[in-house]
A and B are shown apart, each in its own frame.
Chain A
Amino acid sequence: MKADMKQTEQWVWDISFDEARYLYEHRHMNNYVFAALSVYHSGTAPVNQCVKIRNSIIPSEYLEPIKQLVKLIEYFDTEDPTLLRIHSSYYIYRLLGLLKNISCINIDKITELFSVLAFIPILIEKKDGLMIWKRPVKRKKSTHMVRLFELLYTDISVHDFTEEALFNDEKEPNNSDPYFYISRFVTRGVGSVLGMIENGIPLKEGIKAFHYIETKMRSFEKAHGLSSSLELGKNRNSAQLRYRNTLYLYGGNTLERVGQYNDAFEWYTKDIYYTECTQHIGFYLTGLKTTERLLCAYRITPKHREKKLLRDLIDLFLIQSLKNSASYAKIILDFVDSKPDLDLSQERFFLENDRFMLFGGESTREPFLLSLLYHKIIHGIDYGDIDYKKYLIYDSGYL
C-alpha cells in the first residue's frame, strides 16, 4: 500500500478506503475526515432511498428539524446540490439550537442519533464539491514548508517565526496581541510538521519537532504572562485551549502511531484532564476538538477504572460543547433570518473589522463527525455497522 501512496495531487474523496486507512494509521489523517470517508465507503447509509424517521424513538423536541433534514435525502439526485447543502446547513442549525437542555441522561442517545444522521451532511457536501479537507491528501513539499520545519529546530523566537511564516502571505495583518503570535506559531508549526510527515519523514522525526514546538510555546506563554496551565479565572483561556488542541491532538496522534501510548495519553490529556476545564470551552468547535483529544485518550487507555471517569469527562465536555453550539445556532439563525439577502451558499459570512461567522461546512458537520467518533471509540460501533434502521424506516421502492 505504501508504494501506491504517490498522490500529491489527489484529494481525499479520490482515494480508496484502504489508502485512507493506511494514511490514517501510518502517516496523517484527521479523525473527522477518516470517519467521514469511512461512512461514505462503507456504503451502508440509505442514500437514494425514500426514508422516514421513526417518530417514536426520537425525542419529540428534536423531531421537526430532523424530519426536514432527513427529507433532503429524497431530493439527493434531483435537486441542485448547493440548494440542498444550504437547506441542510439551515436545518442543522435548527437542530443544534435545540440542544441547550442536553444532559448526561440523554447525551448517549443524542450522539447515537447524530451518528445515524451524519451521512446526510457528509454526502450533501461531497455532492456539492465542498471540501472536507482543504488540501490534497499529501501536501506539496514546498520550500516554505521545509523552511518552517527547519526553523523549528533553531532558536528563532515565536514572534520571528510567525513573521517568517507569513513571508508569502502578505494579507496577514500586523498584531500586537501575543495570542495572535502564539496561535499562528502553533498552527503554522504543526502544519509544517504534518506536511513533512505526509511527505515521508520518519514519524519519530515529527515527534521531535512537536516537542520543539511545545517547548517554544510554553516559553513564549511564560514570557508573556499567559497561563502556563489553563488556570482558573484567567481570561482568554478558550483561545489558548484552541491552539493547544492543535498541538496536543496531532502530536498525540503521531505518538499513538508509533506505539508510545503512555506519552500519547499525556499529550491528549495535557491541561484538560479536569472537569473545571469545561468552563474554558468557549466556541463549540474548540469544545468538540477538546472532546476529540479525550476520546483519543480513551481509545488508548487499557485501564478500566480510568476509562470510567474519562468517559464522564468526555460526556461533560461534549454536553458543554453542544450547549455552546445551541447558543451559536441561535445567533446564526437570528442573523440569517434577519437578512434575507445573505448568500447562504458561503461557508463564512464576513462582517466588519475582518470578523466573520462560520455557517456551512465544518461548523455544521463537526457535531455529527464527533458523534461518529464517540460511538466508534466509546461503544465500538464501526462506521460501517451503524444501525440506521433503528431511527429510519426505509421505504420499499427506490426513488
Chain B
Amino acid sequence: MSLNRNLTEEQILLRNTVRKFAEELIKPKAKELDEKEEFSYEITAEMAKMGFLGCFLPEEYGGSGLDYVSYIIVVEEIARIDGSQAATIAAHNSLGVGPLYYFGSEKQKKKYLPKLADGHLWGFGLTEPEAGSDAGNTQTTAVEDGDHWVINGSKIFITNAGTDITLGSTVLAVTGVKSNGKKELTCFIVENGTPGFTIKTMKHKMMWRASNTCELYFEDVRVPKENMLGKRGDGFHQMLATLDNGRLSIAAMGLGLAQGAFDYALNYAKQRKTFGKPISTHQAISFKLADIEMGLEIARTYLYDVCRMLDKNEKITKESAIAKLYCSELAHMAANHCVQILGGYGLMKEYDAEKYYRDQKLLEIGEGTSEIQRLVIAREIGCYNI
C-alpha cells in the first residue's frame, strides 16, 4: 500500500494504532469541541497515556523513543482526523519538548522532560505582536539582576501555554546588543505561576478551535539564572533550529489533513449521483481527486525522506521549508477540492469538509508563512549571495 511504502513493520503498526485511536477516541468528539472552542483534558490525557507527548524523547526521559519518521506519522494520522489535537501534539513535541531536549542542561532536562512526556504541556514563546516573520524585532527584554533575570514584554499566538496542565514556556528575550549592532537574543525557561507572568487564552479562532492558544504577559518576571536555556546569545540560533524541525510537524499536519479531506471527498464522490451516475465518474471530479492523490504521493515520500535526513543529523533548513510549504499548499488544495466536490453540503458544518477547509489555513501562516518558506528556500539556493 502506497501509504506504507518503505516503512518498517513497527512504523506500519504505529500508523494503524494511531489511526484507530484517532478514529475511535478523537473523531466522535472533534466537532463538538471545535464548535464549543474547548480544549479537551480527557483526550490529552488519553494521548499522554499512548506516549504521544514524548514522541521522540528517549526512554530515559520517559519518552517513547520514536525515530522522526514515526513521530511524523503520529502527527499525520491525528491531523487526518482533527487539526486541533494534532496541533496540541505537534506544538508540544516540536516546540515545547524540542528546545528543552536539544538545548537544555542535564539538570533542566531531568527536571522537566519526564513530566512533559507524562501529561503536562509546555509552550514556546517566540512570536510577538510586533515580531512574527520578523523575529529579529523581538521587543521582550531580560535584564540581569543579581542571581535573576527580569523579563518584561509580551508574546502572542503561543500554543499550549495556558492550559491547567501547562508547566511553563520557553521564552525568547533580548538580553543585549551584539558587537555587530544586532539584538542579542536568549531563551529562558519560565514556569507558570511565576509572579508577574500572566497568561490569557485567545478565543474566537477560525481553526484549531479545540487547541489552546495564548497571549503571554511579562511584568518584572524574575527567573533564576539557572533558567537560561543554553548560553547567553544562543536564542536566535536555538529558535531557528527549533523551527527547522518544527516545520516537519506542520508539514505532517498538512499531509494528514490533505489525506483526510481526500478520503472524505473520494468516499462522497463514489456515493453521490448526478445525471444518473456517481460523480466520481465525471471527469471534472475524478481529475480533482487524481490531482490530490498525486500531491499526497509526492508529499509523503518527500516528507519521510527529510525526516530520515534529520535522523541522520543532516542539515534540513531548505528541505524542511520545502516540505512545509508543499504540504500546507497541498492541504489547501485538497480541502478546497473537498468542499467543491461536496457542493452545497461542503459549506455545512454537518459535513467534515467545512472543518478541513478552516483548519488548513493556519498551515500557510504558522511556523513561518508560505512567503517566509520561499524566502528560506531562495536564500538556501544562493539567490541572495551576489
Q: Do A and B come from one complex?
A: no
B residues sitting closer than 8 Å to A (CB atoms) are none
